[in-house]
Amino acid sequence: KIINLQFKKKYKGGVYGRAAAGYGTKDRYQGGVFANYITDSIRITGIGNVNNTGLSDVDRNSGDNARAASRPQNGVNTKQSGHVNFGYERTKAFRLNGSYDVSNSDNSLQQSLFRTTYLQGDSTLLRRQTTNQNSNTRQHRLNLRSSYQLNEKNQMQLDGSAYYRNANTGNASNDMTAYQQEDAINFKRQADNKSNTDAYGFTLSDTYRKRFRKEGRTVSIGASITYVKDQLHGNNGNNNQYYTPPGTNYNAFVTEENKENTGTNVNLRYTEALGKRHLLSLAYNNVYANSTSDKLVNQNNNGELVKDTTQSRGYVNRNMENPVGLTYQYSAERITASAGLDARPYSRYSELSGTTKNVVEQKCITYFPKLSPRYTTPKNNTYNLNYNGS
C-alpha cells in the first residue's frame, strides 16, 4: 500500500536542524551541526563539523561502526569543515542549485624507532630514528548548475565549478646508526624537508538541447573549458656525518615548480528518426588539451643558489582530436541493435627540456567500427554482443 500525503504550502516551509558534541580523554573532542531552511522556492542546507579524532562524520548512531568506516590516519588530526547546499526553483522554467565546501585539516605525527640488526659473527647494528611530521590543508570548492526551459522544445543548462587548495607539509628527522653499542656511532643524518603548494582551477560548460516537431529529431550543442594551475615551493636539506672514515656531506635544494593545464571541448549531436524503428545519429567533437610544467631546482652552495641541471626540467604537451561518428539504431519488441563507424583525426606535440631538448610530433587518423545487437527471448533470456575498437 502507498499513501501519498500532500502538504499545504504554509506547512511546507520551516527551519529545523540538530547538533551533537562530545569530549573525551586526552583532550579529544568532536562536534557537528546540521540545519535546513525550506520555503516554496528555496532550500538551504548547512552542515558543520569540528573534531580532533580524525573522523569525517560525527553524526553516526553507532560509535564502533563509525570509527571502522572512517579510520583516522596516524597522529593527531584536527579538522574543521563546512558545507552549504542550496536550491532555487520559483517556476519549472528556471532552476538553480549549487554547493559550497570549505575545510581546514591539520595532522601532527611524532614517531621514534629503535632497531637492532643481528649480523654475522655476533655483531649488531643499532639504529635510532626520530621523526616529526606536520601538515595543513585548506580547501574551498564552489559548484553551480542552472537550467532554463525556454519552451517545451528548447532547453539550456549552464554548469560551473571553482576550487582553491593550499597545502603545507614539514618533515624533520634524525637518524643514527652504531655498531655493538649506542655510543659507538658511525653515521648521523639530520633532514628537514618543507613544501608549500597552491592550486586553483575552474570549469565552465554550457549545453543546449532542441527537439523538433518531428518525433525523434533532436540536436544538442555543448561547450566547456577547464583551467588548472599548480604552484609548488619546496626546501629539502640533508646533513650527513660519517665517523669511519670521518667526513661530512650537506645537501640543500630549493625547488620551484609551476604547472598549468587548459582544456576545451565542443560537441555536436544530431539524431534523425528514419521510421518507427530506425534512428540515425551523427556526433562530432573538438577536443583540445594543453599542459605545461616548469621545474627549477637550485642547490644551496654556501648560501649561493646554483641551478641543478639534472633535476631541472620542463615539458609542453598539446593534443587535439576531432572525432566524428555515425550510428544507426534499430528497435523492435525483442531485438535492438546499433552499428556505426567512428573516425578520429588527432595531432600531438610533446616537448621535453632539461639537459637536452626532445620534441615528438604525431598526426594520424584512426577508425573504430561498432556493433551492438541485443535479443530477448520469449522467456526473458537476454543475449548481448558488443564489438568496438580503441
**Rounded to an integer, what distance in angstroms lies between the CA atom of residue 164 and that of residue 197?**
11
Instruction: Name the average pLDDT for the chain.
Output: 90
pLDDT (0 to 100) of residue 303: 74
Q: Which residue has the higher pLDDT, 54 or 131?
A: 131
Compute the distance between CA of residue 94 and CA of residue 192 in angstroms, rounded to an integer: 55
Q: What's the confidence (pLDDT) of residue 64?
A: 41
pLDDT of the residue at 218 = 93
pLDDT at 45: 95
State the pLDDT at residue 215: 85
Q: Please state whether beta strands 185-211 and 218-243 pair in parallel, antiparallel, or not at all (unpaired).
A: antiparallel
- The per-residue pLDDT for range 57-111, each reduced to its tens digit, is 544 444 444 444 455 678 889 999 999 999 998 787 899 999 999 999 999 999 9
- pLDDT of 70 reads 52
Please check whether residue 43 is in contact with residue 54, taking contact to mean a CB–CB distance below 8 angstroms. no
- Please write the tens of the pLDDT for every residue from 288-333: 999 999 999 999 877 788 888 888 999 999 999 999 999 999 999 8
3-state secondary structure the chain: CCCCCCCCHHHHCEEEEEEEEEECHHHCEEEEEEEEEECCCEEEEEEEEEECCCCCCCCCCCHHHHHHHCCCCCCEEEEEEEEEEEEEEEECCEEEEEEEEEEEEEEEEEEEEEEEEECCCCCEEEEEEEEEEEEEEEEEEEEEEEEEEEECCEEEEEEEEEEEEEEEEEEEEEEEEEECCCCCEEEEEEEEEEEEEEEEEEEEEEEEEEECCCCCCEEEEEEEEEEEEEEEEEEEEEEEEEECCEEEEEEEEEEEEEEEEEEEEEEEEEEEECCCCEEEEEEEEEEEEEEEEEEEEEEEECCEEEECCCCCEEEEEEEEECCEEEEEEEECCCEEEEEEEEEEEEEEEEEEECCCEEEEEEEEEEEEEEEEEEEECCCCCEEECCECCC
Q: What is the pTM of this model?
A: 0.81
